[in-house]
Structure 1
Amino acid sequence: MAAAAAASSLVRRAAAAGAASRGLLLARAFASGVGAGGGGEKAKRVLVPVAAGTEPVEAATTADVLNRAGARVTVATAHPSGDDGLVVQAAYGVKLVADGCVADLQGESFDLIALPGGMPGSVGLRDCKALEKMVKTHAENGGLYGAICAAPAVTLAYWGMLKGLKATCYPLFMEKFTAEVIPVDSRVVVDRNAVTSQGPGTAIEFALALVEKLYGKEKMEEVAGPLVLVPVANGSEEIEAFNLIDVLRRAGANVIVASVEEKLQIVTRRHKFNLIADMMLDEATEMQFDLIVMPGGLQGAQKFASTKKLVDLLKKQAESNKPYGAICASPAHVLQPHGLLKGKKATAFPPMSHLLTDQSACEHRVVVDGNLITSRAPGTATEFTLAIVEKLFGRDKAVSIAKELIFM
């Protein structure tokens, strides 16, 4: 899904760098006049308060995903509007434009109040007396509320709103939970009407959990889109990796970028870009994917091939008859040696295609054989990703994305 782009740590860093160079990056929530049920049904109302230092990925993702579900989202600054009006200086140099002020919303009712984290943003939310009163009244009336990152510990727990509840937060803030809170080391925790989550990398899951609480599982699955795993490693080919992440998110897939290295940051093959993954592969092994697809780059492919947990995920994917794919060096160096091309036609980077047992399709730029999709090199990366879009969403969506990219 497009919201997934907002949630990735890679995009967060890029947005920060862009804001620093351009001076201002504006991000607004969207207001939807019709509810998820259609037919003029009144939309559910959601409040996302922000403050100086708020984590922009968490605020934007929460607002965007809930808007996509059909909610009418209001982003409100916890500080009175000053000389900058409704512009809020969020973290990483990103500036958010709020829809209004919390102080002006007293007496209005919401179906959900969701607090993004970040520091000192969570402190700014905590110290806003109008927001504290609003959230407490909302909770006393049985309303749904949530918080992510530092906000569960710094804000909700400080207000006494997690007493006797299971909750999670950014790992470094777990010790700040009061004694009345039952801490849980989990990406998202739902306990009664409180939903908490760990940080920017879990922002999509947090927002989808809120959608499920508001609208039900069917709507949540509709909004989420297919779940795709793109593993990355030092030496991964950047053109191929970026094509997969960008194009699949444009199409509406929920793309999880997972590092197979010892840390989230990896260095790409040719231009040595620093790419920040959404999570470590260990976290991704707990999830079930609609597609697993690998970029190439010889060094990266060799790391994939030696990563048992990734190979096990790929084998499970193939055995479950779910789509999987690879481009460039990865078909020859990952799929072939682990028996994942058995009985399948495939292609690979030309100097490596001799490693494939069946070389009958090696001259093709993209090869689709059942649930296996393979391709040759950076120059075929867009065709490769569009073939995956067609596999996941159908030809009409693939043609639409191709036209958006001026590919056709």
Structure 2
Amino acid sequence: MALRLVVPHSALLGLSQFKVTSLKKRCFSISATMASPARKVLVPIANGTEPMEAVITIDVLRRAGADVTVASVEKQLSVDAGHGIKIVADALVSDCGDGVFDLITLPGGMPGATNLRDCAALESLVKKQAADERLYAAVCASPAVALGPWGVLKGLKATCYPSFMEQLAPCATAVESRVQVDGRVVTSRGPGTTMEFAVALVEQLYRKEKANEVSGPLVMRSNHGEEYTIRELNPVEWTFNNCPKILVPIANGTEEMEAVMIIDILRRAKANVVVASVENELEILASRKVKLVADVLLDDAANLSFDLIVLPGGLGGAQAFANSEKLVDLLKKQREINKPYGAICASPALVLEPHGLLKGKKATAFPAMCNKLSDQSEVENRVVVDGTLITSRGPGTSMEFALAIVEKLFGRVKALELAKAMLFVYP
């Protein structure tokens, strides 16, 4: 299917939003006067894969119009990714051997990267990709753990997660770029650099204009690596007993990047996160067709008490939340007893506002939906905390949003420790 090539001027925010170091640049761009076919991309996943790195990459590439196959290296489609997040693949890697891909890109995570490395079928695919001079990529541990031992980084500059740099050094020229492009190979450092990495892959597959078009609505930061800030009004202490219990609802149409980043980061902070499906089954089909599996149905969580309820966005998901009487009742009860609740992207505008959950509060939302907020005085802020309410803007603000929650629950020192470990903030 042909992709529309006219890029709105307002969407051209420039790739200055992320820094990409490029050598021996290979042009995958096509003429703007010609139709752009969907590029075929393989994203392998495994038990132990870092879910943020997998899902951000898949989501951003599908936003660009790429035909992305998520393939499990395990014997089954469902994989137990890191931090208790379950992802269901589209296919098995063992069934993809005859495919021809414009890009094969590996997420990281441990032992996910090791499991990818030990998959003979995937190794053969990547070696053939290199021999055929097609694009391949990896992030976090995978450049050092998988691509390096396969011998496909020889003579190239590459980067990886800092603690794997020594392992990478014998296999490539190891550099500390957040995103490194060298010829047909793109590498990156960790969860906090993955959105930049994914947008760089879009540029390699299509063109710079397409990368700009995709990156604009993500609401990416312009100052990657610097400390994040939040806008806080009417500060109050968020309290809990022992370990904070947090409800994260998901639904068909939920924005998968936002959901996964929130869940992943809060579990890194050792919070007790309950992922609840508002649908009739645990498995949901998110907005960019990533299949996620909840821990419980919302019905099973409705009688429990939570220290925080936080809603990811996504247009379809937000509408499902707004139509769920049980979830709306939980949110209203949370507000009544003065316990924290929050939402990101479409959910402040489509769930909280219509149900009176923003009354007397300052909030923000996805830029195109801020006009639905009755009070728009703080909407330009990336994260807004007003007492027990926290809101944020979109996929590119999700890490700041989740880290702001960590900061409110555990303090800024803990939040910055996580931010540095993820490479979201310079270590």
TM-score of the superposed pair, with normalisation by structure 2: 0.48
TM-score (norm: length of structure 1): 0.50
Greater C-alpha Rg: 1
Greater fraction of residues in helix: 1
Higher RCO (CA < 8 A, seq sep 6+): 2
